[in-house]
């Protein structure tokens, strides 16, 4: 395991120590958790933006989008707690019956 030195001013060092104590951790564990969470968030954000970019490129290439009524129903179902599988099943059924939900 590699060792890294982090330089911080006295005020931040005191805040980290106090926050770590409140969290029941050492300052080292607290800082390591904070770095891990930040790295994971950056990776999550990058994946989110990549997915959005891929979807936008697909829209530009095909011209296909989801009609607002269908998107609105999907969002309402998600807000009510419907699972991804339930939404897929509903979409497939509506396509078979040529219904818009």
- pLDDT digits 0-9 by tens, 23-79: 999 999 999 999 999 999 999 999 999 999 999 999 999 998 888 888 888 888 888
Inside any domain, residue 2 = yes
Q: Is residue 97 part of a domain?
A: yes
Neighbours of 90 (CB within 10 A): 16
Any domain includes 7: yes
Q: Residue 45: inside a domain, yes or no?
A: no
CB 69 within 8 A of CB 77: no
Query: Do 3 and 32 touch, CB atoms closer than 8 A?
Result: no
- pLDDT of the residue at 98: 67
- Predicted confidence at residue 20, as pLDDT, reads 98
Rounded distance between C-alpha atoms, residue 16 and residue 26, angstroms: 9
Residues 5-28: b if buried by 16+ CB within 10 A, e if exposed = eeeeeeeeeeebeeebeeeeeeee
* Domain total in the chain: 2
* Residue 10 lies inside a defined structural domain of this protein: yes
Is 46 domain-assigned? no
Is 80 domain-assigned?
yes
Domain assignment of residue 20, given as a range: 1-37
What local confidence, expressed as pLDDT, does residue 48 receive? 97
Q: Does residue 75 form part of some domain?
A: yes
């Amino acid at each position: 395991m590699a060792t890294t030195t982090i330089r911080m001013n006295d005020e931040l060092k005191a805040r980290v120590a106090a926050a770590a104590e409140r969290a029941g951790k050492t300052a080292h564990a607290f800082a390591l958790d904070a770095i891990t969470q930040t790295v994971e968030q950056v990776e999550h954000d990058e994946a989110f933006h990549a997915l959005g970019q891929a979807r936008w490129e697909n829209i530009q290439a095909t011209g296909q989008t989801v009609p607002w009524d269908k998107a609105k129903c999907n969002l309402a179902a998600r807000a009510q707690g419907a699972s991804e599988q339930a939404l897929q099943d509903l979409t497939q059924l509506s396509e078979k019956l040529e219904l818009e939900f």
